Amino acid sequence: MKLTLKIWRQDAPEAKGRMVGYQVDDADEDMSFLELLDVLNEKLILSGDEPVAFDHDCREGICGSCAMVINGEPHGPQKATTACQLHLRHFRDGETIVVEPWRASAFPVVKDLVTDRSAFDRLIQAGGFISAPTGSAPDAHATPVPKPNSERAFTAAACIGCGACVAACPNGSASLFLGAKITHLGELPQGRPERDDRVVRMVEQHDAEGFGGCTNTGACTVSCPKEIPLDVISQLNRDYLHATTGSRRSA
């Protein structure tokens, strides 16, 4: 395959960025998108040019590191797929592919396609945990959890914190990520004692980081590689309302 790549290049956080075109003539349709960037970088290094900086780790769709916008879509055009699992068979021979970093004020560009997503870490530090001492691992049946609650918790816990929801949102909101963490912990007995304090602290941190407000466009869940459902945002809103008005009903 022959592909033309137009990639955002930015030398440093405060440097002016620009789109740079590259030609890759020996791409294979079975390559992943990150392998395509590896091939390009090998050519750049051999020619004495600066390779394209991009984040990666597991390359198995688990870690959420491969944060990039491909042809205007976070992680690319394939639904429920991270950039590292996106294969070139989904593109046409001779196609021009535009690659950019996440575009959100809370995720400043570090270099090229690398963005600083440490705002998510600070959201987790604000309340995305349970603080009860657990000791050794309990038996699986020691704390009964109703099946609907466990299934909803598992669905929300699938979030990998990649930030695609923020990149897709016209407001730069992290409400889907936040809602996933709130729902995941709030559905489990171990997470309920801190439910009110958790949502208040995490929402306050969300706003302090500069994320925008949610206007329910649904772009976040469409772009989410793990297909986190939109109703976790409703859960987030309900929990926040109950926590700030004292009107929580028994669950």
**92-108, pLDDT tens digit by residue?**
999 999 999 999 999 99
Give the start-end residues of each E strand in 62-162. Answer: 69-70, 73-74, 96-100, 109-111, 114-115
Q: Are 42 and 31 in contact (CB under 8 A)?
A: no
Average pLDDT, integer, range 238-251: 78
Task: List C-alpha distances in Å: 182 to 22, 40, 157, 232, 233.
Answer: 43, 40, 10, 8, 9
Contacts of 175 (CB under 8 A, 6+ apart): 165, 169, 206, 211, 213, 214, 220, 233, 236
Q: Are 220 and 231 in contact (CB under 8 A)?
A: no
Q: Read off the pTM.
A: 0.93
Whole-number average pLDDT of the chain: 95
pLDDT bucket at 229, cuts 50 / 70 / 90? very high
The DSSP secondary-structure symbol of 79 reads T
Q: Which amino acid is at 205?
A: Q
Burial class (CB in 10 A: 0-12, 13-18, 19+), 232: buried
Beta-bridged to residue 97, according to DSSP, are 5
Count of Cβ atoms closer than 10 Å to residue 226 Cβ: 20
Q: Identify the pLDDT of residue 143.
A: 86
| pLDDT, tens digit (0-9, with 9 covering 90-100), for 146-174 | 999 999 999 999 999 999 999 999 999 99
Set out the domains of the chain in order of their start, with CATH numbers.
3-111 (3.10.20.30), 117-132+139-245 (1.10.1060.10)
